[in-house]
Structure formats: C-alpha cells, structure tokens
C-alpha cells in the first residue's frame, strides 16, 4: 500500500496511507495525555478542597460530612475509593514538590479546569499573559514528567 499526499485548503500537507488519516500518532498521544492531566488536575482540586457533590436537596447541614461505614458498599466501590484517594495523595505530593511559582500556576489552572472557565488568577503570577503561559507550560511539563515516572499518567 502506497502513501498519498495532498494539501488541504490552508496549504498544509497531509499524508495518508490507504484509508487512514494523516495525523501522526505522537500528536494524538500528546492530546490524550493533556486531557488526562486536565482531568487529573480537576479531580485533585476537588479532592484537595474536600468538594463533595450533594446528591439530594434538603440534606441537613449536620449530616453533610457524614462518612459511610462502607458496610453496604460493594468490594469494588471500596477498592475504587481507596485507589482514588491514594492516587490523589500522590498527585498532591508531586504538586507540593514543585517550586512555589509552578505550584501556584498549577493550582490556578486546576481551579479554572473545575469551573470550566479561565477566570481565576493569582497576584503571585506575572501580569503579562505570555509569561503566565510559559510558566504554566513549564509547570505542566514538569508535573507531567513526575506523574509519568510515578505511574499515574
């Protein structure tokens, strides 16, 4: 089977083999890791803040933080809970090991990921948008390497 090359409307070269798209495997893998890191950071932020989705309206404030004894949970539910907690502790450890500037950038990024909007900022970060982008990119790359080495990503 041969390779076919063509250009799209923007003049970009696309290489295809048979019926497969010309996207490179590395690009798709990088996007997948980025999405996994985004999801992990938003989970970490919710875990670190003790955020818990309340299932029902009308829950008495006295019982909001009530923890079940797990006697009615299945074995899989208990195991998943312990694994999630240990995973979040590992993420928390690796974030705490970052330098303060990177730790702040990751914390703000995680907070923005949870809300779904980029509205949160910090006075500890530079006011210049380009500098903040560089700091966040460096912090995410360092954290991604640490979490990959730890087996989380």
Q: pTM of the predicted model, to two decimals?
A: 0.68
Taking the C-alpha atoms of residue 22 and residue 5, their distance in angstroms, rounded to an integer, is 9
Find the DSSP H helices in 52-128.
75-96, 100-115
Mean pLDDT per 10-residue segment, the chain (153 residues) = 41 40 64 92 91 59 64 76 90 95 95 90 90 94 94 88
């Amino acid at each position: 089977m041969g390779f076919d090359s063509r250009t799209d409307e923007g003049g970009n070269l696309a290489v295809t083999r048979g019926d497969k798209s010309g996207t490179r495997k590395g690009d798709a893998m990088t996007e997948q890791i980025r999405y996994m890191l985004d999801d992990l950071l938003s989970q970490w932020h919710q875990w670190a803040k003790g955020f818990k989705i309340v299932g029902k309206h009308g829950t008495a404030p006295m019982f909001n933080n009530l923890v079940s004894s797990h006697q009615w949970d299945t074995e899989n539910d208990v195991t998943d809970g312990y694994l999630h907690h240990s995973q979040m502790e590992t993420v928390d450890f690796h974030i705490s090991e970052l330098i303060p500037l990177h730790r702040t950038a990751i914390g703000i990024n995680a907070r923005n990921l949870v809300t779904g909007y980029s509205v949160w900022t910090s006075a500890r970060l530079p006011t210049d948008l380009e500098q903040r982008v560089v700091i966040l990119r460096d912090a995410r790359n360092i954290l991604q390497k640490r979490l990959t080495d730890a087996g989380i990503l």
